[in-house]
């Protein structure tokens, strides 16, 4: 007998929360609830079946409901966490009484939770809930328009494979699974760093040969950083690895590639730094500072080191690609 779920909720009615919520509502299997602190977005969804702030003019499935009332989360079996990493833990603590301990928490955010701890590690410290993470090459605009999209579900125990697979069965969401939950989380942060690097390269040279030379160097260093932080080699070849990295590094819809393009053209200023959501800059700082506690970053992870110097020193950006090319790899 097919398992029947209680309500499925997504905390966050931004682009990814709305997109996945709309896909799940379209299956007709479950009651799908979007929880948001933005009352105008909630009203927009419930009254007009649109989210004009994030998807203007796009009609949403009428089965998708929204609420500002966190108490409605108390009967949910699965809750997807679709709010920015920088506010994730503080917000969840304010509604902790509304999160049943048996509810599966699925992290969609890409970023650190606190310091160098991943969001999953922070969730495990603060909550008794089972947790997993879901990451992949996934622009929300593509998802909501029902383009096939891949995600990796990272888990420890118990395995959520059947539970999560059942939710997305028959949709445009394709899943693979990894028991390397730390690796899945780390890769979703690392790819932002190397997307900046590819943006700088493409801003200065319109050369496919050079682009994929640097892409290969970046992918090799990602592997070394991943292993240094406790992840596994094979995770690189899940959707969360090679797929998410290349999407972020090579597509102009990527914020971090855009940051690299701005840096490479000489347009990066403090004003731009405050206006953009700069996951790549934050991630570079965290990885550099953690690695430097035990070794010279410049010797072992020179691309991260080069980018760190751009963010923190007077730097001749015209020499960036030459500096990358001088890196000898063993």
Closest CA to 241 of 225, 260, 259: 225
Phi and psi at residue 290, in whole multiples of 5°?
Answer: -70, -45
CA 108 to mean position of chain CA atoms: 6
Q: What string of DSSP letters covers 233-287? A: GGGGGSIIIIIHHHHHHH-TT-HHHHHHHHHHTT---HHHHHHS--HHHHHHHHH
- Which of these is catalytic: 135, 191, 217, 281? 191
Strand-pair partners of 33: 9, 65
What angle do helix axes 208-228 and 181-204 make, rounded to 10 degrees? Answer: 150
Closest CA to 135 of 279, 306, 305: 279
The whole-angstrom separation of Cα 95 and Cα 93 is 5
Strand-pair partners of 67: 35
Closest CA to 38 of 59, 17, 21: 17
Residues contacting 322, CB < 8 A, separation 6+: none
Asked if residue 321 lies in contact with residue 205, where contact means CB atoms within 8 angstroms, the answer is yes
Decide if 191 is catalytic: yes
- Judge residue 156's burial from the number of C-beta atoms within 10 Å of its C-beta, 0-12 exposed, 13-18 middle, 19 or more buried: middle
Closest CA to 104 of 131, 125, 127: 131
Q: Which residues are catalytic?
A: 191
């Amino acid at each position: 007998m097919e398992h029947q779920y209680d309500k499925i909720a997504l905390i966050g009615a931004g682009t990814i929360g709305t997109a996945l919520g709309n896909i799940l509502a379209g299956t007709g299997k479950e009651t799908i609830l979007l929880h948001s602190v933005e009352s105008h977005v909630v009203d927009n969804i419930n009254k007009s079946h649109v989210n004009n702030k994030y998807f203007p003019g796009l009609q949403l499935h009428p089965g998708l409901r929204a609420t500002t009332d966190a108490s409605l989360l108390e009967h949910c079996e699965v809750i997807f966490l679709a709010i920015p990493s920088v506010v994730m833990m503080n917000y969840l603590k304010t509604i902790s009484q509304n999160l049943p301990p048996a509810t599966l928490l699925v992290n969609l955010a890409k970023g650190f939770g606190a310091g160098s701890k991943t969001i999953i590690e922070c969730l495990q410290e603060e909550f008794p809930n089972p947790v997993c993470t879901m990451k992949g090459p996934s622009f929300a605009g593509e998802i909501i328009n029902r383009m096939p999209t891949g995600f990796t579900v990272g888990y420890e125990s118990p395995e959520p494979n059947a539970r999560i697979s059942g939710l997305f069965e028959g949709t445009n969401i394709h899943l693979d699974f990894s028991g390397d939950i730390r690796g899945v989380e780390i890769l979703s942060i690392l790819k932002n760093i190397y997307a900046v690097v590819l943006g700088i390269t493409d801003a200065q040279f319109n050369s496919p040969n050079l682009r994929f030379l640097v892409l290969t160097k970046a992918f090799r260093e990602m592997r070394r950083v991943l292993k240094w932080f406790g992840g596994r080699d094979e995770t690189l070849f899940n959707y969360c690895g090679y797929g998410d990295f290349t999407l972020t590094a090579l597509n102009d819809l990527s914020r971090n590639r855009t940051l690299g393009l701005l840096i490479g053209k000489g347009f990066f200023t403090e004003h731009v730094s405050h206006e953009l959501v700069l996951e790549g800059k934050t991630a570079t700082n965290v990885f550099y500072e953690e690695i430097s506690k035990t070794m010279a970053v410049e010797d072992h992870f020179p691309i991260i080191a080069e980018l760190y110097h751009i963010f923190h020193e007077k730097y001749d950006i015209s020499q960036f690609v030459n500096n990358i090319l001088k890196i000898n790899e063993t």
